[in-house]
Chain A
Amino acid sequence: MRWRGKRGERASIPTASMADIAFLLIIFFMVTTIFRAEKGIKIELPYAMKTERLPKRDVSRIWVSQRGEMSIDDKFVSLSEIAAIMSNKAIDNPDMITQIKTDRRAKYGDVAYILEELKKARALRVSLATKEEE
């Protein structure tokens, strides 16, 4: 056959642009990665089994330490300020989910009063942060 007789040309895949593709991928991942801006306060979360995953967006967090100190956006706040702060956030983003990150050694009362403030602020979607139990 004719083509068999053809002098075998060296088969080669052009790899010159491979590096460009790879660097493009690196840059894409670097740009799309969201970094956590908030530091929060040091807490130990409680464990639970029937947990749900939280979406990455639309979440604002309230931190409650073991001693009942509360922090929003890395600022310590008092209970009476929470309603005003959260109601502003809820107006900006109606899909907001408030995540309450509470130390497991805290008193429930601290959280209960925050829930009441959130009701006042009409921030009604709440998630109580837990760790998954193994």
Chain B
Amino acid sequence: MIFRQRPKPEAEIPTASMADIAFLLIIFFMVSTTLLEEKGLSMVLPEPGEETKIRPENITHVLLDNTGRIKIDGVYYDLSSVRKVIEDKLAAKPGTLIVSFNIQPECRYGTMIDVFDELRLADARKISLVPPKGAK
């Protein structure tokens, strides 16, 4: 038959663009993958039962009450001035000052983080979180 005698064309899949397709896929996945970046204020808690006596003159008391008012050593301040106040106090007693951070349990968590962040920004390294009443 005539058809049979026709020479067969060689079957071929073009692979030249395969690399482009693969790289396109790589780039697509790289772009669409949202990198999980988690941030936070880290701290190390004290061991239970580990209590050290600190001389009262080396402690600064920061009190945050239920309504979010900030009291540092008996004087009320607003959030924007906390950093300066703590910086000054740290400069007066470098290395020895401990910030005792007492937060009332009804206080909003966001407010607490704002103040805690300010303390960190003032470079207060030794911050003691006062445990809530009723906790062992």
Contacts and interface: CB of A to CB of B under 8 A. Distances in A.
Interface in B80-136: 103-114, 116-117, 120-121, 129, 131-132, 135-136
Contacts of B37: 53
Given A106-B109, A109-B105, A26 B117 contact: no
A20 B111 CA distance: 54
Contacts of A124: 44-47
A110 to B, nearest CB: 8
B109 A103 contact: yes
Interface residues of B, number: 47
A34 B39 CA distance: 18
Interface in A25-51: 25-26, 29-30, 33, 36, 46-51
Interface stretch (A1-9, A70-78, A113-121): A113-121
A99 B18 contact: no
Contacts of A102: 109
Nearest to B37: A53
Contacts of B48: 119-120, 122
B44 A22 contact: no
B4 to A, nearest CB: 34
B15 interface: yes
A116 B136 contact: yes
A107 B109 contact: yes
B31 interface: no
A111 B29 contact: no
A108 B18 contact: no
Interface in B43-98: 43-48, 64
Given A22-B26, A51-B39, A119 B121 contact: no
B30 interface: yes
B105 A112 contact: yes
B42 interface: yes
A104 interface: yes
A118 B43 CA distance: 12
A15 interface: yes
Nearest to A112: B132
A113 B135 contact: yes
- The 9 A-B residue pairs whose C-beta atoms are closest, nearest first, are A109-B105, A22-B22, A104-B110, A18-B19, A19-B18, A127-B40, A51-B39, A48-B117, A46-B113
